[in-house]
């Protein structure tokens, strides 16, 4: 039986041992990551399966859209081809929302929305209007001074 001292003196063995240890730790970390990830997904599916139109804190959980008049029409017509995120991350004026819909109709096979178009455009411009402020408000009350 190799004694303790000679194991650590034999650096080759010690390195090999450390490398194996790192490998095991790495695999364990990946496993933990996957198991945790699965749990989150299961939970999301649970929520969505029980009630696909569940609202939490004013947000339609499945899509992330704001709960307001016109939500149903928007979910039904605007989340089938692409994620609702594409809608949420865009903030536009009424004319630009209309133009975006027209563009999708002309180039992306979006169907005629009929009576629902007004409802959807109103929903969009009410809840996703152009951002009023830029990233940073312009400077005010600046005391300018001249360089000497
Ligand atoms: C028939 C499929 C389809 C439907 C339904 C659809 N879209 Fe799209 N939309 C697209 C495609 C395709 C793109 C381009 C995606 C890309 O660039 O990756 C797009 C892009 C967009 C963009 C991004 C435009 C840009 O300038 O980048 C917005 C915003 C958008 N859609 C909103 C909507 C809204 C609002 C509705 C509901 C009225 C809707 N979409 C319904 C196909 C669709």
Secondary structure of 41-92 in the HEC alphabet? HHHHHHHHHHCCCCEECCEECCCCCECCCCHHHHHHHHCCCCCHHHHHCCCC
109 within ligand 1 shell (Cβ under 6 A): yes
Q: What is the pLDDT of residue 11?
A: 81
State yes or no: pLDDT of 100 exceeds 70.
Answer: yes
Name which of 126, 46, 115 is nearest 77 in CA terms.
115
119 within ligand 1 shell (Cβ under 6 A): no
User: How far is it, in rounded angstroms, from Cα 22 to Cα 32?
Assistant: 15
Residue nearest (by alpha carbon) to ligand 1 atom 39: 78
Q: Can you tell me the mean pLDDT for 43-52?
A: 74
Beta bridge partners of 60: 55
Of 28-32, 124-128, 133-137, where does mean pLDDT reach its minimum?
A: 133-137
What predicted TM-score, i.e. pTM, was given to this entire model?
A: 0.68
State yes or no: pLDDT of 1 exceeds 70.
Answer: no
- The encoded tokens of residue 78 equal 């605007």
Instruction: Using the mean position of ligand 1's atoms as its centre, give its distance from the Cα of residue 50 in Å.
Output: 28
102 within ligand 1 shell (Cβ under 6 A): no
Instruction: Using the mean position of ligand 1's atoms as its centre, give its distance from the Cα of residue 81 in Å.
Output: 7
Q: Can you tell me the mean pLDDT for 62-86?
A: 96
Beta bridge partners of 66: 59
State yes or no: pLDDT of 119 exceeds 80.
Answer: yes
Q: How confident is the model at residue 135 (pLDDT cuts 50, 70, 90)?
A: low
Q: What is the pLDDT of residue 140?
A: 73
């Amino acid at each position: 039986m190799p004694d303790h001292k000679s194991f650590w003196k034999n650096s080759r063995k010690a390195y090999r041992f450390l490398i194996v240890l790192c490998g095991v730790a790495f695999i364990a970390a990946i496993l933990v990551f996957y198991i945790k990830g699965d749990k989150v997904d299961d939970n999301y599916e649970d929520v969505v399966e029980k009630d696909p139109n569940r609202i939490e804190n004013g947000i339609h959980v499945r899509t992330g859209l704001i709960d307001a008049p016109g939500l149903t029409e928007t979910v039904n017509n605007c989340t089938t081809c692409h994620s609702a995120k594409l809608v949420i991350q865009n903030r536009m004026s009424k004319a630009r929302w209309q133009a975006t819909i027209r563009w999708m109709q002309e180039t992306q096979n979006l169907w005629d929305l009929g009576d629902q178009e007004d409802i959807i455009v109103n929903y969009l411009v009410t809840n996703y209007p152009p951002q009023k402020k830029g990233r940073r408000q312009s400077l005010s009350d600046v005391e300018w001074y001249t360089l000497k």
